[in-house]
Amino acid sequence: MKYQRSSQLFKQAQAVIPGGVNSPVRAFKAVGGTPIFVDKAEGAYLYDVDGNRLIDYINSWGPMILGHAYKPVVDAVIEKAKKGTSFGMPTAIETKIAELAISMVPNIDKIRFVNSGTEACMSAVRLARGYSGREKIIKFSGCYHGHSDSFLIQAGSGAVTFGSPNSPGVTQGTAKDTLLAPYNNLESVKEIFQANPGEIAAIIVEPVAGNMGCIPPVSGFLEGLRALCDTHDTVLIFDEVMTGFRLDKGGVQSLYGICADIVCFGKVIGGGLPVGAFAASGEIMKHLAPEGPVYQAGTLSGNPLAMAAGHALLTALNSDDDVYQRLAMKTNYLHQGISKALKSHHIPHSINSVGSMISVHFSEAPVTDFKTAALGNNKRFKQFFHGMLNAGIYIAPSAFESWFITDALSYEDLDFTIAAVETVASSL
Ligand code: HOZ
């Protein structure tokens, strides 16, 4: 494949945008080569500026669960845009999507819309602190909750891809209030509670981790967190920015039957427009301004185009009884196919998948936390990434990310992908 035009555009962008990109993982630094500039996308495919067609396994890092340029979403945005794009005043569509989201997700009475997953998690922690009157939070190494200061401490995703899981610019004062535990390790969470009695405002967790590749919770982990939070009057925050409306209508709370106190959303809830949200019981949400004293605001929050896109996508998901099963079947088909292809060439690997999230680690040990995720053979991942790209398949340009499956993928696309893995594996 040729990437001449992408190369030119990247050079031009680097002169005026740091690293040529508006979010670091797009820069291909971890895998080398030129980031691909997109012209358009439709269904399961990306079309780049050089005229290449790629099967997309990233789907804008999650939102495009029913495929790119999904007609009901595009139509809803166009119709809204004709009436004006932002007012900084309430609109009826905000209440409509709030009602729909609350009807789909358990344990939430009220929801506040923001502009990104980062904002959602940042605001959820502030709310938990304001509600509990405590300051410390527990987060898990390798989990990524966006780029706000409290979370850039042993963070996953781009932060670890670029080797700065603890970012310069985060003050020691902020960092000291974020206490770290290994993912899937309940004992270490218990120890933190013992060492900080009455001080933990919240635990924030990706209930299925997606920012160190995909890592499911081991049996009893989420239940144990719930029990510890109950014992210590601590707020349990599920960061469902990736998993919300993706793994199930009600997210991980419904999938595994565990209640969180605050839930954060992003990605799917915005249908591909910039939306995040956080939600909780009325009891907790009443602490939020203007009802309560915990402040949070945004000029473009609840933007009508974004709300219309999210509402159209959630409506489609809510009215399709089989969609999550179809997605899981496609993901499982891919999981088995890739595993078989890698095995046939004796490539050590470990594949995790849950619902429509999947990732491939090039190490034999089961990947259950950040430490085991970091054991993967990065050189091999790079070769794999470029081999797949040459075959017309776009996977995440980092071993510390999940792939997101879309319902627009056909079984022919999946077979084509598995065949490409077979060919690439023979050259690894
Ligand atoms: N939050 C996305 C998944 N880790 C990455 C998006 C980005 O950092 O650009």
Domain boundary at 318, 337, 368, which? 318
Which helix (DSSP H) or strand (DSSP E) does residue 354 occupy?
strand 350-354
The predicted pLDDT at position 44 comes to: 98
The predicted pLDDT at position 250 comes to: 98
Is the beta carbon of 23 within 6 A of some atom in ligand 1? Answer: yes
pLDDT digits (tens, 9 = 90+) for 343-361: 999 999 999 999 999 999 9
Residues 168 and 36: their CA atoms lie apart, in Å, by 29
Is the beta carbon of 94 within 6 A of some atom in ligand 1? Answer: no
Judge if 42 and 101 occupy the same domain. no
Judge if 228 and 327 occupy the same domain. no
pLDDT digits (tens, 9 = 90+) for 378-411: 999 999 999 999 999 999 999 999 999 999 999 9
Probe ligand 1: pick from 17, 21, 22, 23, max atoms within 8 Å of CB?
23
Could you give the residue ranges of the DSSP H alpha helices within 319-426? Answer: 323-344, 370-373, 378-390, 411-426
* Residue 33 reports pLDDT greater than 80: yes
Is the beta carbon of 157 within 6 A of some atom in ligand 1? Answer: yes
List the catalytic residue out of 3, 70, 131, 144: 144
Domain boundary at 270, 301, 318, which? 318
Q: Which two tokens stand for residue 382?
A: 């790079």
CATH, residue 359: 3.90.1150.10
pTM recorded for the entire structure = 0.96
Residue nearest to atom 6 of ligand 1 (CA): 61
List the catalytic residue out of 48, 56, 177, 239: 239
What mean pLDDT comes out for the span 64-89? 98
What's the CA-to-centroid distance between 154 and ligand 1, angstroms? Answer: 15
What's the CA-to-centroid distance between 60 and ligand 1, angstroms? Answer: 9
What's the CA-to-centroid distance between 63 and ligand 1, angstroms? Answer: 11
Give the number of the atom of ligand 1 that is nearest the alpha carbon of residue 267.
1
Give the number of the atom of ligand 1 that is nearest the alpha carbon of residue 401.
4
* Residue 25 reports pLDDT greater than 80: yes
The predicted pLDDT at position 192 comes to: 97
Domain boundary at 318, 341, 368, which? 318
Label residue 164 by pLDDT band (50, 70, 90). Answer: low
Judge if 26 and 113 occupy the same domain. no
pLDDT digits (tens, 9 = 90+) for 178-195: 999 999 999 999 999 999
pLDDT digits (tens, 9 = 90+) for 296-345: 999 999 999 999 999 999 999 999 999 999 999 999 999 999 999 999 99
* Residue 157 reports pLDDT greater than 80: no
Number of domains making up the chain: 2
Residue 148 CB burial class (10 angstroms; 0-12, 13-18, ≥19): middle
DSSP-assigned letters across all residues of 128-185: HHHHHT--EEEEETT----SSGGG-SS--THHHHTT-SS-TT--HHHHTTEEEE-TT-
Judge if 211 and 331 occupy the same domain. no
Residue 184 C-alpha from the chain's centroid: 18
* Residue 227 reports pLDDT greater than 90: yes
Label residue 156 by pLDDT band (50, 70, 90). Answer: confident
The predicted pLDDT at position 162 comes to: 65
Q: What percent of the chain has pLDDT over 70?
A: 99
Judge if 127 and 245 occupy the same domain. yes
What mean pLDDT comes out for the span 362-384? 95
CATH, residue 264: 3.40.640.10
What mean pLDDT comes out for the span 363-388? 95
* Residue 165 reports pLDDT greater than 90: no
Active site residue 261: no
What's the CA-to-centroid distance between 164 and ligand 1, angstroms? Answer: 15
Taking all residues of the chain, what is their mean pLDDT, rounded to a whole number? 96
**Helix (H/G/I), strand (E/B), else coil: 367:** coil
The predicted pLDDT at position 153 comes to: 82
The predicted pLDDT at position 424 comes to: 97
List the catalytic residue out of 267, 324, 369, 394: 267
Residue range(s) defining the domain that contains residue 156:
71-318
Judge if 12 and 146 occupy the same domain. no
> Which has the minimum average pLDDT: 105-109, 153-157, 246-250, 333-337?
153-157
Contacts of 151 (CB under 8 A, 6+ apart): 121, 122, 139, 144, 145, 178, 204
Active site residue 248: no
Distances, alpha carbon 161 to alpha carbons 9, 62, 142, 402, in Å: 23, 18, 11, 13
Judge if 243 and 271 occupy the same domain. yes
Active site residue 144: yes
The predicted pLDDT at position 173 comes to: 86
Judge if 328 and 244 occupy the same domain. no
What's the CA-to-centroid distance between 61 and ligand 1, angstroms? Answer: 6
